[in-house]
Amino acid sequence: DYRRCGIGKELLRRVVEEAREYGCGAVHITASDMGVKLYTAFGFKHNGNFMQYNLN
């Protein structure tokens, strides 16, 4: 089991970094119940059925 090892956080950080480099304004994801805690801790906000992280 690789949970709580920081792998998800690092992958998410890299996705956000790439999105910024491509000039995206936000990252939208569909989160599983298990993933909501990770995304919320990273700064994502609920936006309807999705979670959103603003890059601006």
Question: For residue range 4-44, what is the model confidence (pLDDT) as tens digits?
Answer: 889 999 999 999 999 999 999 999 999 988 889 999 999 99
DSSP secondary-structure letter at 6?
S
pLDDT reported for residue 2:
78
Contact by Cβ (8 Å): 7, 34: no
pLDDT reported for residue 48:
86
> pTM for the full model?
0.80
Beta bridge partners of 56: none
